[in-house]
């Protein structure tokens, strides 16, 4: 479903990703770990098309299509979803209206009819319950005045509503307490249906206790230096990253 | 100061005043107004208060008094609100569309002798003419008007909704709507002023003046929306006097037109008074929209909070001048003024000038003005959820002003504006910011 070949990318003139390759099959969960500055977040940003991230080489096929040639919104409509590490606060833009517009866009693209306002509100309320987010948040501005945990739960809620094919979680666990972490993990696990794929970018092994990955990749200096199963995460937890960076160099 | 001793428009306006029928008990005010109007220098480029707002549009047009004919109201103009309602079309009350019946709300022409005395006592006294040339014109043209008199301690259940609609006539009509609100001590009232025009209205000129006297401990909630179309000229003033512990909450929103100039003059006359004023301006095409606000702190322990936001599109121009003047004995004043503007084209223009003049030493004041673009991160966030660039831009620019709309407590006003503006934003690509932000 996702085929990354020799991807290189740069931000503000600095080469961050170097020749990175990664193949993800439907239903798989891939964890990306690594030290600060390894390029973990860059990968998610490049895949979702964030301005300022310049691809200098390689290609990315998403369900047989050239992902890098697509506009930001096309990628989203095709089913790529990035759960932001730092979701933006947008006061004045109603969360509900924003969510409805997003879901409408995705459904239209899939050839499905738009949901009526009533049906959508019902769905949104149910979904907010599943991520333990107070319904009052639906009426507020997008992420306006949300705590760190509430913002992350809002991201997961958007993911549930949009039902993407590929979910990229960018350090979704950062700043979460253990209860919120469990809520987020339960949300993700409920969406694992054997078809949907996940890239879980994280700093810590802890999240992977709850979202059990099929593969763990270690990213260092813009490339994958080690791939293993879920036990690799435990090893990293015990030994840190330095031994791998030394090996990779 | 003077570009010419008496301009054609000044003369013309007085001819129109002379041709009007007006009650005798307003003669003194009319006479004094006419004198001041003629004596005043006509504003030119070097007149500070009119520096950015040329008045050529007035000079070019031969105006006439409105015909007095009753025109029909354009569809979907009125707010859906349960209110004491007065609907004027080209200055003429449409009794069928109005719903009077609240004691204390009366036309000048129907005022009792006591009410006439009350009007004579207050009319033209809240409005301070030195900074407001066109208030003198309103006085010269004083004739019909609306008196809202809320007696001591009264709390009316329904708001007072005053609508002025301009529709086309054979010539360009000059209409001078006048609203006098006298809120006595400890009384409360909610006012909605609504200006609209038929899309066909050509070059009409509305010179409006609203005076609000807020007695001690009085509370006034005041909405004023100017949704007149492109070709309608509007010069309007709102003058508010606040006496001890009075509270005024104002909201104003205007779309642009060939010439629109709106002034707020709020004076803290008594200690402990508070004023909140939020404003939104939305000029586009080749429109001009000018807001001048001036708050005079003449008494101690008063509070002012003023926020204006605008979106300027296409070749339009906006002017915002917000002055707060704190007099020497107005100690313990709290005053805040903030102005933010979003420019959505590289030809759009804003001249913004917050002015603080402080002559007291124990006060807290802050002011700021910024000109911004749409936030690149927010734009990316919305697009990453499948919204098109245009959708995201339009949603974000609407959000920019929606923050102020959300503060509107009168549901009918909020819903009307929400719907109206969403339509405007959806229709007008130009109002959404240009794609500067994500060019990186």
Q: What is the DSSP letter of A113?
A: P
Band the pLDDT of B436: cuts 50, 70, 90.
Answer: very low
**pLDDT confidence of residue B430:** 58
Q: Which of B376, B385, B421 is nearest to B402 (CA)?
A: B421
CB contact under 8 A, A73 and B387: yes
Residue B347 has pLDDT above 70, yes or no: yes
Give A12-58 pLDDT, tens digit per residue: 999 999 999 999 999 999 999 988 888 899 999 999 999 999 999 99
The pair of structure tokens assigned to A77 is: 């409509």
Residue B306: beta bridge partners?
A: B277, B337
**pLDDT confidence of residue A179:** 87
Closest partner residue to B387 (CB to CB) among A92, A102, A158 is A102
Chain A residues with beta carbon closer than 8 angstroms to that of B376: 51
Give A28-41 pLDDT, tens digit per residue: 999 999 888 888 99
**Cα separation values, B36 from B50, B76, B237, Å:** 18, 40, 17
Q: Which of B308, B213, B215 is nearest to B266 (CA)?
A: B213
Q: Which of B260, B213, B214, B262 is nearest to B237 (CA)?
A: B262
Give B103-115 pLDDT, tens digit per residue: 999 999 999 999 9
Residue of A nearest to B438 (CA): A51
CB contact under 8 A, A158 and B385: yes
Please state which of the ranges B198-212, B215-229, B406-420 shows the lowest mean pLDDT: B198-212
Q: How large is the average pLDDT for residues A150-154? A: 92
Residue of A nearest to B393 (CA): A93
- The answer for B50, left when phi > 0, alpha when psi is -120 to 50, beta otherwise, is alpha
CB contact under 8 A, B400 and A73: no
Q: SS3 of B160, please?
A: strand
The reported pTM is 0.85
Q: SS3 of A173, please?
A: coil
Q: Strands B105-107, B92-93: parallel, antiparallel or unpaired by DSSP?
A: unpaired
Q: Strands B205-214, B172-175: parallel, antiparallel or unpaired by DSSP?
A: parallel
Closest partner residue to A98 (CB to CB) among B389, B395, B439 is B395
Contact B208, B194 (CB under 8 A): no
A206 vs B329: CA distance, rounded Å = 63
Give A163-192 pLDDT, tens digit per residue: 999 999 999 888 888 888 998 899 999 999
Give B154-199 pLDDT, tens digit per residue: 999 999 999 999 998 888 899 999 999 999 999 999 999 999 998 7
**B392 to chain A nearest CA, in Å?**
9
Give B28-60 pLDDT, tens digit per residue: 999 999 999 988 888 888 888 898 898 888 888
Chain A residues with beta carbon closer than 8 angstroms to that of B382: 90, 93, 98
**B99 to chain A nearest CA, in Å?**
35
**pLDDT confidence of residue B431:** 58
Residue A238 has pLDDT above 90, yes or no: no
Residue A237 has pLDDT above 60, yes or no: yes
Give A72-131 pLDDT, tens digit per residue: 999 999 999 999 999 999 999 999 999 999 999 999 999 999 999 999 999 999 999 999
**pLDDT confidence of residue B435:** 39
Residue B131 has pLDDT above 90, yes or no: no
B309 vs B311: CA distance, rounded Å = 7
Interface residue of A92, A99, A156, A166 to substitute, partner B, most B CBs within 10 Å:
A92
**pLDDT confidence of residue B2:** 45
Band the pLDDT of B5: cuts 50, 70, 90.
Answer: low
Q: Which residue has the higher pLDDT, A205 or B358?
A: B358
Query: How many residues are listed for chain A in this entry?
Result: 249
**pLDDT confidence of residue B440:** 30
Band the pLDDT of A248: cuts 50, 70, 90.
Answer: low
Exposure of B255 in the CB half-sphere (CA atoms within 13 A): 19
**A100 to chain B nearest CA, in Å?**
10
DSSP code string of A15-50:
EEEEEEEEEE-TT-EEEEE--TTSSHHHHHHHHHT-
**B222 to chain A nearest CA, in Å?**
22
Chain B residues with CB within 8 Å of chain A CB: 375-378, 380-389, 391, 395-396, 398-403, 406, 438-440
A30 vs A213: CA distance, rounded Å = 6
**pLDDT confidence of residue A247:** 65
CB contact under 8 A, B383 and A71: yes
Chain B residues with beta carbon closer than 8 angstroms to that of A142: 381
Residue B225 has pLDDT above 80, yes or no: yes
């Amino acid at each position: 479903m996702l085929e990354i070949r020799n991807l290189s990318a740069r931000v503000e003139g600095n080469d961050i990703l170097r020749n990175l390759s990664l193949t993800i099959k439907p239903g798989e969960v891939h964890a990306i770990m690594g030290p600060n500055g390894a390029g973990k977040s860059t990968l998610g940003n490049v895949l979702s098309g964030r301005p300022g991230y310049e691809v200098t080489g390689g290609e990315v096929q998403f369900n047989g299509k050239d992902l890098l040639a697509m506009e930001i919104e096309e990628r989203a409509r095709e089913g790529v979803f990035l759960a932001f590490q730092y979701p933006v606060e947008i006061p004045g833009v109603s969360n509900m209206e924003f969510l409805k517009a997003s879901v409408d866009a995705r459904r239209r693209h899939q050839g499905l009819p738009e949901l009526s306002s009533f049906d959508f509100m019902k769905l949104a309320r149910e979904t907010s319950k599943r991520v333990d987010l107070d319904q009052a948040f639906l009426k507020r501005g997008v992420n306006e005045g949300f705590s760190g945990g509430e913002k992350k739960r809002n991201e997961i809620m958007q993911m549930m509503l949009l039902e993407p094919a590929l979910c990229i979680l960018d350090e979704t666990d950062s700043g979460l307490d253990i209860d919120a972490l469990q809520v987020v993990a339960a949300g993700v696990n409920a969406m694992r249906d054997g078809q949907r794929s996940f890239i879980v970018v994280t700093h810590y092994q802890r999240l992977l206790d709850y979202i059990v990955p099929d593969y763990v990749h270690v990213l260092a200096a813009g490339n994958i230096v080690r791939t293993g199963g879920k036990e690799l995460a435990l090893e990293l937890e015990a030994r840190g990253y330095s031994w791998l960076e030394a090996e990779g160099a | 100061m003077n570009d010419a001793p008496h301009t054609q428009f000044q003369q013309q306006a007085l001819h129109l005043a002379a041709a009007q029928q007006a009650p005798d008990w307003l003669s003194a005010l009319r006479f004094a107004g006419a004198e001041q109007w003629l004596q005043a220098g006509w504003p030119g480029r070097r007149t500070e208060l009119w520096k950015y707002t040329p008045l050529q549009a007035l000079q070019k047009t031969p105006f006439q008094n409105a015909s007095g004919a009753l025109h029909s109201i354009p569809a979907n103009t009125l707010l859906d609100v349960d209110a004491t309602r007065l609907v004027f079309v080209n200055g003429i009350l449409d009794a069928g569309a109005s719903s009077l019946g609240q004691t204390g709300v009366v036309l000048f022409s129907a005022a009792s002798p006591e009410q006439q005395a009350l009007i004579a006592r207050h009319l033209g006294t809240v409005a301070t003419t030195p900074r407001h040339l066109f208030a003198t014109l309103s006085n010269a043209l004083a004739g019909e008007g609306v008196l809202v008199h809320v007696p001591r301690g009264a709390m009316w259940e329904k708001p007072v909704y005053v609508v002025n609609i301009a529709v086309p006539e054979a010539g360009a009509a000059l209409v001078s709507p006048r609203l006098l609100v006298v809120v006595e001590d400890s009384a409360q009232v909610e006012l909605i002023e609504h200006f609209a025009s038929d899309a066909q209205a050509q070059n009409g000129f509305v010179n409006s003046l609203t005076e609000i006297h807020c007695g001690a401990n009085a509370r006034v909630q005041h909405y004023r929306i100017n949704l007149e179309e492109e070709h309608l000229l509007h010069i309007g003033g709102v003058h508010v006097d606040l006496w001890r512990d009075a509270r005024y909450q104002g909201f104003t929103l205007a779309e642009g037109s060939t010439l629109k100039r709106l002034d707020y003059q709020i004076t803290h006359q008594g200690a402990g008074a508070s004023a909140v004023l939020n404003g939104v301006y939305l000029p586009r095409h080749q429109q001009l929209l000018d807001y001048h606000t001036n708050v005079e702190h003449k008494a101690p322990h008063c509070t002012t909070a003023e926020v204006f936001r605008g979106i300027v599109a296409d070749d339009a121009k906006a002017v915002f001048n917000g002055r707060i003047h704190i007099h020497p004995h107005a100690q313990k004043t709290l005053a805040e003024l903030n102005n933010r503007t979003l420019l959505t084209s590289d030809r759009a223009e804003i001249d913004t000038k917050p002015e603080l003049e402080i002559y007291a030493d124990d006060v807290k004041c802050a002011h700021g003005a910024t000109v911004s673009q749409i936030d690149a991160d927010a734009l990316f966030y919305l697009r990453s959820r499948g919204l098109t660039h245009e959708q995201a831009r339009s949603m974000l620019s609407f959000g920019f002003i929606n923050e102020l709309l959300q503060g509107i407590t009168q549901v009918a006003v909020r819903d009307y504006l929400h719907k109206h503006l969403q339509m405007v934003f959806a229709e007008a690509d130009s109002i959404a910011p240009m794609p500067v932000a994500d060019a990186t």
